Structure 1
């Protein structure tokens, strides 16, 4: 029996989420605009809400669980198949920052009607391109539309990322630590570095992390480093030595030992699992 491949792109008008829908959402990359009501969920062990006028992005197979959907919840959802999105990410140096940001801050405020319309039009154009299967250059056109879609999302991300970066000094110490991780986790993997940036001791930083998240500062650092390593290893244009340099390891052997400690595999073996 030949299995029918799942659609690479799907559009939904969502007002409730049953078990089957939740399984579908977890299988795809999810782009959701909330028109009214709210959706409560747990994401990476943290309770979050996507409410009216907000945009939500989940990577496929992210660790999230639905808590509650309000009775007046209405949303427009675009689903993109896991490999199709990843395979068409434009080769931009800061794309890893964009992806990592979404893994930590999945909910985004939409501040204007124009921005809302731009996002929904972006959904529509990708769906229309996907449905135009008789196009003479269908695959090429669809891939280009996917890349344009990502660039538009990155544009929205970049504005928010800048706002978060500029507000670094206004949050609590714990919030500032998480934001510092966003900026420096590619190359800084020692608790002492972040404690120095916050003008506190490593012991106190660990205490703050434990009371806010029940995780140590080292846990947070290694978690972010894992995300970076996975994203870099998925980029087959980079060899292992180049990734080690990108993350400021003194040698490829040190990088290999670090990866083996985190994943139980060498970078080469772990990359093979990702492909």
Structure 2
């Protein structure tokens, strides 16, 4: 169970597990073998390229953590990146150790985003005829930055807000309203971790009418104001 959703990861697949994600009920086959790459959170965040697609890539990975690499070249590229990153990490005598390691991490992330983007587009097209729940989840990921009311999504799906909440509750145990808040919360956290953005810029990007309204919303979701949350990050 990964964030209250049942997942299965098989041979040749990749699982991207963020530390904040909830993992439970883990079952392994007798012949289970895997290679694990553990990346410290601050090191990862400091090397995420400042590109608009980064938020979508991270959120998509949190919802769909299991990646199936259909292209053998993609699979080999990722495996090679595992090896190169580990190799850079071990070469502590390198004159430009920090710079080389950071660049290798950024290359790894960009290659993963390339794969995520292709999967994201495939899933987006395939869900046009999916179930109401699947279509809602796709819409919520796409629009949670600026649309935080269930009514918007129910209008898109041509159903009532009450029925949409019932559909989500039956499919996942979580209401549509709660899913929207989860996605918005994750996005806000990622934006606050980006020191290149001011709090006012984040509020504008999420189309809040005022910074004070944004502050109240963040405190409701995170239990702290944007400034307080950032100060805790150090």
Counterpart of 1:117?
76
The offset of 1:164, in angstroms, is 1.4
Counterpart of 1:264?
223
Contact 2:168 2:175 in 1 (8 A): yes
Post-superposition Cα deviations, 1:178-213, rounded to whole Å, max 9, x if no partner, equal: 011111111110100000111111011011011111
DSSP-derived class of the 1:69 partner: coil
Uncovered stretches (5+) of structure 2, i.e. residues with no partner: none
Counterpart of 1:247?
206
1:231 and 1:61 mapped to 2: Cα distance? 12
CA RMSD of superposed structures (Å):
1.2
Counterpart of 1:158?
117
2:36 and 2:222 mapped to 1: Cα distance? 34
Counterpart of 1:78?
37
Relative to its length, the structure with more strand (as a share) is 1
Counterpart of 2:57?
98
1:109 and 1:244 mapped to 2: Cα distance? 36
Could you tell me the TM-score, scaled by structure 1's length?
A: 0.82
Uncovered stretches (5+) of structure 1, i.e. residues with no partner: 1-41
Counterpart of 2:161?
202
Contact 2:78 2:108 in 1 (8 A): no
The offset of 1:215, in angstroms, is 1.4
Could you tell me the TM-score, scaled by structure 2's length?
A: 0.96
Counterpart of 2:108?
149
1:221 has 2:221 as partner: no
The offset of 1:113, in angstroms, is 2.0
Post-superposition Cα deviations, 1:133-177, rounded to whole Å, max 9, x if no partner, equal: 111111111111111111111111111111112223121000110
Structure 1 residues 77 and 195, CA gap change in structure 2 (3 angstroms): same
Counterpart of 1:236?
195
Relative to its length, the structure with more helix (as a share) is 2
2:92 and 2:165 mapped to 1: Cα distance? 54
Counterpart of 1:12?
none
2:128 and 2:38 mapped to 1: Cα distance? 36
Post-superposition Cα deviations, 1:76-121, rounded to whole Å, max 9, x if no partner, equal: 2222122111111111111011111111110011102222111101
Return the match for 1:51 from 4, 10, 25.
10
2:111 and 2:5 mapped to 1: Cα distance? 28
